[in-house]
Amino acid sequence: MDEPDIFYILGNKVRRDILSHLTCSECYFSFLSSKVNVSSTAVAKHLKIMEREGVLRSFEKEGPFIGPSRKYYNISISRVYVATITPNIFWYGGFDLGESLLEKAEIDLSKIPQEHDSILKMVFSFMKLTEELEKTLQVLKSIETLRDKLMKDMKERYLQEIGDMTQLAILHYVLLNRKATIDELSDRLNLKEREVLQKAEELDRFVPLRIKDGVIEIDEERLKP
């Protein structure tokens, strides 16, 4: 499978919303259709595009009740993508998350001069900066590998102990984005604002939240042991 055209995938809001739901849990088609504000035909088209690109995979799975099996989707890649776009640089790359983790790395830019008197020195400095960038990317990969594992474990524990998927979706979104408005969560989860507020207040019983002026965020003071 070729590298997926990830920026084409992410360039569409509906596809971004679908991916956001699928990072909470694998989902069947009708559930996804109920969570985004487009027709089921459009959802099917977006799912087909992402499956074709290798970002998603589909599979049949029996539901909890008697009846035909349902078609489920989940995300089939574990990669971090980085891009730089300036008047002078256009560069992007994708890197697999994995078990090779860095616990410590030293990034040193102090020996890179700000001014150069020859092209050769400029080339040398650029190559040295690229070496520092590669170390930085290794750190990023390590951080994201650990965050990914922790989020996976957290979701499994939350569903096992509390079992509320909507609460988990709110927690998931707030953790990834630092904070969220009730309005944007209402749009993302396809719920009424009062329903989002109710679920956030229920979630606050298990994970301390600060809910003020329509904004929800983790209450770090109450979170401290």
In a domain, 155, yes or no: no
In a domain, 154, yes or no: no
In terms of residue numbers, what domain contains 48? 6-75
In a domain, 157, yes or no: no
**Quick one: average pLDDT of 55-71?**
78
In a domain, 1, yes or no: no
Per-residue pLDDT for 117 more than 90? Answer: yes
Residue 83 and residue 143 in one domain: yes
47: CATH: 1.10.10.10
Predicted pLDDT of residue 99: 80
Alpha-carbon gap, residue 185 to 174, rounded angstroms = 9
Residue 103 and residue 59 in one domain: no
**Quick one: CA dihedral 89, 145, 31, 159, positive or negative?**
negative
Share of the chain above pLDDT 90, in %: 76
Per-residue pLDDT for 86 more than 70? Answer: yes
Per-residue pLDDT for 98 more than 60? Answer: yes
Residue 106 and residue 137 in one domain: yes
The residue whose two tokens read 């991916």 is 19
Residue 143 and residue 98 in one domain: yes
> Where does the pLDDT of residue 57 fall: very low under 50, low under 70, confident under 90, or very high at 90 and above?
very high
- State if pTM tops 0.85: yes
